[in-house]
């Protein structure tokens, strides 16, 4: 019976993550509807500084095999995965580490961080999280979702500045988040455990 309780507790925890950002749960990044307002296509990450004129590429976190995961554990958080360069039509690697993470209503905020994006030629570009104010916020505020149907409420955003080249233009995350689904087999496991518990209890009563 204890096993059943633990499984149900796990399921309830996963379910609650749909209402807010919680620790030890992975979240898939989705392009924000505001990204569709640009001529470069849907995006979740914008890095204007990658071009000298400040009109650098945007990156989709969904298109053509792109996939990135956000996870918050303790006072740290990470984003790891692949993003699609809308200008060069390539998959780039992305990794962002956040430090000084603290809980806020509906999620967390970070006080520092480092973003690394790597192109297919293995050239790396480094960005520091903007030092002023909150570096990165992930919560259930539906930030900039007004007027967009099926947007949010889980969203994340944060500014970054180039570390190894001159900053030009704006660079930022603007994404929606959705919890990574529990394994498809888990509901079957729960049903089996509940059935086993019922059978054992019935046997003990007879």
pLDDT confidence tier of residue 191, bands split at 50, 70 and 90: low
pLDDT score at 20: 97
Beta bridge partners of 43: 32
pLDDT score at 82: 98
Report how far apart the first and last C-alpha atoms of the chain are (Å, whole number): 18
Q: Is the pLDDT of residue 13 over 50?
A: no
Distance, CA of 186 to CA of 184 (rounded, Å) = 6
pLDDT score at 59: 96
Q: What is the pLDDT of residues 83-124, one digit of tens each?
A: 999 999 999 999 999 999 999 999 999 999 999 999 999 999
Strands, E assignment, 21-66: 26-31, 45-47, 58-60
Q: Is the pLDDT of residue 196 over 50?
A: no
**What is this structure's pTM?**
0.80
Every domain of the chain and the residues it spans: 2-180
pLDDT confidence tier of residue 2, bands split at 50, 70 and 90: low
Q: Is the pLDDT of residue 144 over 50?
A: yes
Which two structure tokens, joined as six digits, stand for 22?
């919680």
Report helix, strand or coil for 180.
coil
Q: Is the pLDDT of residue 77 over 90?
A: yes
Q: Residue 84 belongs to what H/E stretch?
A: strand 76-85
| Among the ranges given (11-15, 69-73, 142-146, 168-172), the one the predictor scored with the smallest mean pLDDT | 11-15
């Amino acid at each position: 019976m204890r096993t059943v309780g633990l499984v149900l507790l796990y399921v309830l925890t996963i379910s609650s993550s749909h209402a807010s950002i919680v620790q030890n749960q992975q979240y898939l990044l989705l392009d924000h509807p505001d990204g569709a307002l640009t001529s470069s296509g849907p995006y979740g990450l914008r890095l204007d500084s990658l071009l000298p004129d400040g009109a650098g590429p945007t990156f989709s976190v969904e298109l053509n095999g792109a996939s990135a995961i956000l996870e918050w554990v303790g006072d740290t958080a990470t984003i790891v995965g692949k993003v699609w360069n809308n200008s060069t039509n390539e998959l780039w690697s992305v990794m962002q580490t956040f430090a000084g993470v603290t809980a806020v209503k509906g999620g967390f905020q970070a006080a520092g961080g480092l973003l690394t994006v790597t192109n297919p030629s293995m050239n790396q570009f480094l960005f520091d999280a903007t030092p002023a104010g909150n570096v990165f916020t992930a919560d259930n505020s539906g930030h900039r979702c007004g007027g967009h149907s099926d947007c949010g409420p889980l969203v994340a955003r944060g500014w970054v500045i180039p570390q190894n080249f001159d900053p030009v233009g704006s660079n930022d995350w603007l994404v929606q988040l959705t919890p990574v689904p529990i394994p498809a087999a888990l509901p079957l496991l729960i049903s089996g455990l509940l059935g086993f518990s019922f059978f054992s209890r019935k046997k003990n009563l007879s």
